[in-house]
Amino acid sequence: MNSRCGSPPDEPAGRAPAAPPVPVLRADDPGWTARAAALALRAPARAGRCRVVALEGRSGAGKTSLAGELAAALSCPVVHMDDLYPGWDGLAASVPLARDHVLEPLRRGADPRWPRYDWEREGYDGWAGVRVADRLVIEGCGAGAADLRPYLSLLLWVEAPRAERGRRLARRWDADLYAPHRARWARQEESYAAAHAPRAHADAVLDNTAPADPAP
């Protein structure tokens, strides 16, 4: 309520009311995919007739595996931001690539098709693409950028503590390849978060605090 409508005495005049808290889903709850799918399907399609769900979060939060689970529940493909980054300094550059090659084609009724980056050769090598009906999951840091949010039906922020994220990164199959670039990538994530505030714009939080391989 604003002051013209009679603000409560303890609410400063002119201050917008606080936004309601976003739903919190727990990744260790077997029903989380059904709840997330229901949120997505209740939201309007914003990329043409396609409902796009984005999973955002820091490295090691568990976005990739959770995106696979949600895509299975939605019976749709997944686009990984890892396939769009043009190298280890490419987080910022991936945002217009996702917009122009994934989301804009969906808005026009076409399938996504993007330049494929070869991480071993450190350069582009042909094209990749995916067939999409009316649903798509996109995951990775950058998927919830300000330029991409107008196309999203649902933005999920995947939350995990720093220590647990570090343990997961150390257990990745490509941990040895990733390790020399870890601090470099973290700096890009910090800059990206400051510029785009994806956590603040999330429609729901997906709590992935539980260890990926809990002790028996």
Q: Is residue 9 in some structural domain?
A: no
Q: Is residue 8 in some structural domain?
A: no
Q: How many domains does the chain have?
A: 1
pLDDT over 90 at 107, yes or no: yes
Of 71, 61, 73, the closest CA to residue 31 belongs to 73
pLDDT per residue over 51-62, tens digit each?
999 999 999 899
Q: Is residue 29 in some structural domain?
A: yes
Question: Which residue reads 């009316």 in tokens?
Answer: 134
pLDDT over 70 at 18, yes or no: no
Per the structure, the complete domain to which residue 137 belongs is given by 22-207
Q: Is residue 74 in some structural domain?
A: yes
Packed helices 182-196 and 91-98: angle between N→C axes, nearest 10 degrees: 50
Element (H, E) at 26: strand 24-26
Q: What does the block give as tokens for 64?
A: 């990739």
Q: Is residue 137 in some structural domain?
A: yes
- Which CATH number is 139's domain given? 3.40.50.300
Q: Is residue 67 in some structural domain?
A: yes
Burial of 176 (0-12, 13-18, 19+ CB in 10 A): exposed
pLDDT at 5: 40
CA atoms within 13 A on the CB side of 110: 11
Extract the runs of DSSP E, i.e. beta strands, from 109-212: 113-118, 123-129, 135-139, 154-159, 204-207
Q: Is residue 40 in some structural domain?
A: yes
105 close to 47: Cβ distance less than 8 angstroms = no
**DSSP letter, residue 1:** -
Q: Is residue 120 in some structural domain?
A: yes
pLDDT per residue over 161-175, tens digit each?
999 988 888 888 777
Average model confidence (pLDDT) across the chain: 88
pLDDT over 80 at 126, yes or no: yes
**Phi, psi values for residue 9, rounded to 5°:** -55, -30
| Percent over 70 (pLDDT), the chain | 88
Residues near 66 by beta carbon (within 8 Å), at least 6 away in sequence: 27, 55, 139, 158, 206, 208
